[in-house]
A and B are shown apart, each in its own frame.
Chain A
Amino acid sequence: MATKVHMEALSPTMEEGQLVQWLKAEGDDIANGDILAEIETDKATMELVARGEGVLRKIFLTAGGTAEVGSVIGVIAGADEDISGIAGVSGGGVTAAPTAPPEAPAEGAPMPAAQTLPAPEAPAVSASATSAPATTAAATLPASAANEGRVKASPLARRLAEEMGVDIARVPGSGPGGRVVKRDVEAAKASGVAAPVDTPATWASDGAEYEDIPTSQMRKAIAKRLVTSIGPVPTFYLTVDVDMGRVIEARKSINAMLEKDGMRVSINDILLKAIAAALRQHLNCNAQWHDGFVRRFSAVHLGVAVAIEDGLITPVIKNAHAKGIAQISAEVRELAGRAREKKLMPDEYTGSTFTVSNLGMLGIHEFTAIINPPESGILAVGGIVETPVVVDGEVTVRPRMRITMSCDHRVVDGAQGARFLQTLQGMLEEPTAILL
């Protein structure tokens, strides 16, 4: 029976061996255990031992040749045995030059283009808190402090923020190390702080052209209410341009006085006081149209428009005419805060006799507001703008502010409205007049 002579694994790591020399020749008698050849392995030169007996009939791999472990390099068989069916490795006699190592696969894909994430938008609204009237929308708290650009948030918070449409980068975190957690996201949602209103959204990847947002109760209420205003109410508008230099000075000295109490008042607080005082002198603007009569109020309950998430609400400073600026300031702050948390009681946002709306902090110079029925007037206050004006024949730069009054002509005539505005302007340009 024929015995194939194989290139054997003569070391555990050997994969191929080189035949150094045959110690037997074709035609030699072979006994089981005879040394047939010397093989050079990856480690040393080893002896290849015969595993059968007979005659070394065929040598396939000659001296110097290299073959892989397992390949047939010779045949031992009976002298007359037919071995034509046995195939062996060919070659040999070549030098030990190894075949060139296989090429590293050349299909190395190019590095995928770095995905660019949309750059986080800087909040469009200035974050200066000093002169921010309480009525500005989206008053920004400082973005989650000291984050070095990376937001620490729990996985749940991230998911909720995404679901709720809250910009997690602007949510202050109450967890360890400033981690934003679920309760922080929920709070941010409620107060509208981190509503990404001003951040232009990246294009929705599915390219939708519009989005239908279901109307909330608040929006329905505003719509219903104001449709009944500008529609049926015959409205006209009066604008004055006020020099705010004295108010600015007055504010400084008032705040100096209040410093020891840890309080500050804003321009708007002073403005509200002035409006209340002026209305006391023009109660015909502090009135309501009713079927068959006009109700004229002697007390001034000022509605202060506050923008909140998804809408607008007007908490009321009751008896504003009788309250000092500091008290008005505190009340406005407190009511506005709770307004944003949607925690006002109904009697806190109803019962105003006149309303003030200030969009100065959003960069508006001048606008017209819609009367809050059943009131008969509303003031739209713009921002203080350094403006070149002519004073005593010379051009100078003054801080100027525009106030536009909308009047219900059924209650207030043009002259009446104008006189009220004159009084108000006088008070603002000379604040001591408020004391009268």
Chain B
Amino acid sequence: MCTMIVTKADISGSGKGQQGWFKLSQANVSFDHPFHAPLEHALNIDFVNEAEGPGARVAVELSAESARKLVEAILAALAQGEASGYLVATESTLRR
């Protein structure tokens, strides 16, 4: 793509794509041209499982501001989970 800005994370979980639920193995995060969002560049996240083919993909395209809010919301939810004892804090979360 035009900016070539992409980062990846190995993940585990499930995503619901066009063919239903599938196991996720990777999140590809790019800041580049979106396919649908009416923006020149967007924060694009593709939750994928490459072993299941290119169609095993759940896509979101967010404005930069929306993406930052999402990051905050995710971290806040995880922090509440830890504070409530539902989630054991890991070494990486304790370092934050």
B is bound to A: no
Chain B positions near chain A (C-beta within 8 angstroms): none
